[in-house]
């Protein structure tokens, strides 16, 4: 699990920032039709074939993190958990199993060089990509992860508390900047 602080819809405590890509003006009719057909197919598999489908999944792509939260030991464990090819294979298997939403988490997923490709692959496979992130480094990489449909940011409190809990000065501002940058998602 990336962040253990509670996510809610408040920006002040545990911010959840949603980017409603499904409602974006640029979304094509073909894409909407594809999703509708896929959803109908899933419903039929459950209703008539009695299948159990993993509608949502989460993948932990790294344990690396630029922060060191008081309640987390992931950064001390170091390293990425899977190479790109392994992640792509898992994404493909999940998509074929009927998964609709995939949450990409860490550690801090934005530390992975291939995070943009992971997001793209997820979207290309018809799953809605989501990301759990501290927001650290998002501004620099926002162009790579523009197909995210949901970005989850946590705030642990006012700036001095957040930075103290997260073990790094500037982490509050990074999260707030990331939240404000949502308008630049494509």
Q: What does the binding site for ligand SF4 look like in residue numbers (CB under 6 A)? A: 2-4, 65, 67-69, 72, 74-75, 106-108, 134
Distance CA 122, CA 99 (A): 10
Cβ neighbours for 152, distance < 8 A, ≥ 6 positions apart: 7, 16, 17, 103, 130, 131, 132, 133
> Considering the complex, what minimum distance in angstroms separates the CB of residue 181 from ligand SF4?
18
Q: Which one, 11 or 97, has the nearer CB to ligand SF4?
A: 11
Q: Which one, 74 or 155, has the nearer CB to ligand SF4?
A: 74
Q: Which one, 72 or 94, has the nearer CB to ligand SF4?
A: 72
Cβ neighbours for 156, distance < 8 A, ≥ 6 positions apart: 5, 13, 14, 162, 165, 166
Q: Which one, 69 or 123, has the nearer CB to ligand SF4?
A: 69
> Considering the complex, what minimum distance in angstroms separates the CB of residue 165 from ligand SF4?
8
Q: What is the DSSP letter of 184?
A: G
> Considering the complex, what minimum distance in angstroms separates the CB of residue 32 from ligand SF4?
34
> Considering the complex, what minimum distance in angstroms separates the CB of residue 57 from ligand SF4?
19
Contact 141/110 with Cβ under 8 angstroms? yes
């Amino acid at each position: 699990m990336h962040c253990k602080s509670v996510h809610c819809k408040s920006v002040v405590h545990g911010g959840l920032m949603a980017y409603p890509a499904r409602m974006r003006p640029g979304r094509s009719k073909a894409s909407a039709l594809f999703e509708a057909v896929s959803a109908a197919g899933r419903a039929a598999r459950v209703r008539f074939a009695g299948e159990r489908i993993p509608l949502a999944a989460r993948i932990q792509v790294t344990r690396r993190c630029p922060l060191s939260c008081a309640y987390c030991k992931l950064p001390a464990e170091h390293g990425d958990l899977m190479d790109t090819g392994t992640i792509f294979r898992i994404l493909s298997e999940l998509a074929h199993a009927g998964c609709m939403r995939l949450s990409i988490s860490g550690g801090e997923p934005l530390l992975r060089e291939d995070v943009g490709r992971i997001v793209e692959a997820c979207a290309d496979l018809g799953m809605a990509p989501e990301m759990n992130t501290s927001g650290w480094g998002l501004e620099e990489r926002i162009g790579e992860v523009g197909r995210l449909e949901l970005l989850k940011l946590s705030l642990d409190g006012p700036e001095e508390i957040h930075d103290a809990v997260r073990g790094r000065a500037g982490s509050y501002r990074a999260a707030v900047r990331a939240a404000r940058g949502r308008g630049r998602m494509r």
